Amino acid sequence: MSNLAVTPEAHNFGARVEGLDLSQKLDANSVSELRDLWLTYQILYFPEQRLNHAELERFTTYFGEHGNDPYVKAVDGHPNVLEIRREAQEEVAPFGASWHSDWSFQAAPPSATILHSKVVPPQGGDTHFADGFRAYDALDPDFAAELEDLIAVHSARRPYSHEGFQRSGGEQRSMTILPSDEAWTTQEHPVIRTHPESGRKALWVNPVYTITIKNMDDKAADELLAKLFSHALSPAFVYVHRWAADMLTMWDNRSVQHCAQGGYDGHLRVMHRTTVAGTAPH
């Protein structure tokens, strides 16, 4: 990988990586170097990468097994690839338009999300990313110590229960969402998550899937979560990612949350997404 060029974003949160053709098989040394970069910058993006579904799947498996992606119909013949699509005439909000960590309602949420752009609108459609590491580091130490013992409750009910699907106008989407009563299931995770590879601590709650705090009354839990969300999503911790066609972007779901932006009504946008299986947060 002698031709590899890495251009970090501000605060080393995100980096542009060039000089590599991801449609080709990568050797072990290349994969190891990419993994180190991913752990360092949390978000990596690779411009000008023309990939088919099989090549995207192969790249994904360099970082682990495919994750389990419920509630959205996969691409025919490729059960690990989701098409994130919004037609020009759609009036509902973009898929993923509220801040979240992918599938945090699972017992072992994905370690990585990988998104490959196919059709990019001429305006809008950015993705915003928030850094959970810096959000944790900026907490008052005494407050951070109090949070260490707290357990958050996560659920997919807001977007993926039948009720949530109806409220969000899910039937109007071009994507096939698969609502289910399973979305009411809850999962408990620590408010402060320790990264299993780097050992760094991250503030790990998100507005879509984190519904309450264990052993706390609703009012107090809602107030605390609102405070934590406001802190975690401070502009100081946010990187605004602008897409181009054939760009592959991957991020560390164990320390990063994200939000899809609109602003491209009247234009088609098409992405293909995979996830990498993760481990139970601790």
pLDDT tens sequence for the chain (282 residues)? 458 999 999 999 999 999 999 999 999 999 999 999 999 999 999 999 999 999 999 999 999 999 999 999 999 999 999 999 999 999 999 999 999 999 999 999 999 999 999 999 999 999 999 999 999 999 999 999 999 999 999 999 999 999 999 988 878 898 999 999 999 999 999 999 999 999 999 999 999 999 999 999 999 999 999 999 999 999 999 999 999 999 999 999 999 999 999 999 999 999 999 999 999 999
- Contact 269/120 with Cβ under 8 angstroms? yes
Distance in angstroms (rounded) separating the CA atoms of residues 179 and 30: 39
Distance in angstroms (rounded) separating the CA atoms of residues 244 and 266: 18
Distance in angstroms (rounded) separating the CA atoms of residues 256 and 60: 18
Annotate 20-57 with DSSP letters as a single string.
--TTS---HHHHHHHHHHHHHHSEEEESS----HHHHH
Distance in angstroms (rounded) separating the CA atoms of residues 187 and 174: 29
Q: Give the single-character DSSP code of 11.
A: G
Give the chain's domains with CATH numbers: 5-276 (3.60.130.10)
* Burial bucket for residue 76 (CB in 10 Å: 0-12, 13-18, 19+): exposed
Q: Which long-range contacts (CB under 8 A, 24 or more apart) does 214-223 make?
A: 214/150, 214/151, 214/152, 214/153, 214/188, 215/151, 216/150
pTM for the model stands at 0.97
